[in-house]
Amino acid sequence: MSYNAFITRETIEGEEDGPLAGKTVAVKDNISTEGVRTTCGSAMLEEYVPPYDAAVVERLLEAGATIPGKTNMDEFGMGTTTETSAFGPTDNPAAEGRVPGGSSGGSAAAVAAGEADLALGTDTGGSVRCPAAFTGTVGIKPTYGLVSRYGLIAYANSLEQIGPIAPSVEEAAELLEVIAGLDDRDSTTRDAHEEVGERSPDGVREYAFADAADGDVDGLEIGIPTELLEGADERVVETFWDAIDELEARGASYHEVAMESLSHAVEAYYVIAMSEASSNLARFDGVRYGPTPEYEGNWNEEFAAVREEGFGEEVKRRILLGTYALSAGYHDKYYKQAQDARAWVKQDFDSALSEADVLASPTMPVPPMERGESLDDPLTMYLADANTTPVNLANLPAISVPAGETSDGLPVGLQLIGPAFGEREIIRAGSALA
């Protein structure tokens, strides 16, 4: 059965030797691949072929991976269902008739269906963790700055990170080891070896993420933000507590924690993300990028026509809202307040993690939605990101692992959140379940 997981099926061969030799790694279609079409799931870039590889693609190929193709995604990463792609929706191999999550739904579906061993997605507000939860796979959103964004076609620069999707925690950790590290071409990458790795005698960075996947949670202290359980589907909450019970049986303990700022996180996230998107997507104008208009007119008319034809409805909605939030007279009312809320969220996470090794919540407050269920109700789609967006605002690492299934057989994910550059902590905790 075809799940429409790929937009472009074109194989890119890596080196003969390396830690990923013999492995196939699907790559989300907003990550640049030299000579291979990269569309961002949009008609605007339907024929765009990058002249260079993204940093993560270079590292995959150097590690011996084979890239079997570019995966489907919500247009420009804007969505939670992989239904806004100009190339059609992706189906969920783990739940027939349901969405695979988004925006990296094609990457998760490819792994869940066995069409790729591993995959790369991008996570701006949950776009790796959501599809991992909906397809019963593992997804890691790294600390901001751990993985280079060079060659990633930007949606919201201050929020997004490239992360792995895999069948197991150990395999996701192995892929993260390959793509992590400093890159001179991305000034946001940071030297974090004191926290997450060591240097070998020849100066090459060595990470030990996979070594942390030992399932040892004896003595682990888990904080559970009560706000991330409020309003969640009862079936999801029940499955979440079953997973916590399993961790407790293995030696972990937990306590509940209040984080008042989380009640404002979704609103702050969407103001910031849409504002950054309105700026980033201004270059798609038919001159620098995008199709050239076939008629003559003034520049404003041609600019508007290209964007009207090239962008889908959800992208247009976010550009309009972001432009409004940044406009004169409204910047302080919306964007500045959203940034203040972001700082509050970060402070709350720092406080909660000072008394816990990791924080835990359901990855998504609902099971996978039925196809088409949220397309006409964007507000419901935005609110579905309530548990994942706060992590991006705080630039922290998080992992989604399978928590189990609801009574009607739908996948549920458990989200584990760690301190900055605390990937080893969340990998160790997650590996007790997957």
Which of these is catalytic: 28, 70, 261, 374? Answer: 28
Is the Cβ–Cβ distance between 389 and 269 less than 8 Å? Answer: yes
Which of these is catalytic: 32, 42, 103, 104? Answer: 103
Shortest CA distance to 222 belongs to which of 241, 194, 196, 239? 241
333 carries an active-site annotation: no
Angle at 402 between CA 400 and CA 408, to 5 degrees: 130
28 carries an active-site annotation: yes
CA–CA separation, 403 and 190 (whole Å) = 32
Which of these is catalytic: 32, 85, 104, 127? Answer: 127
Could you give the residue numbers annotated as active site? 28, 103, 127
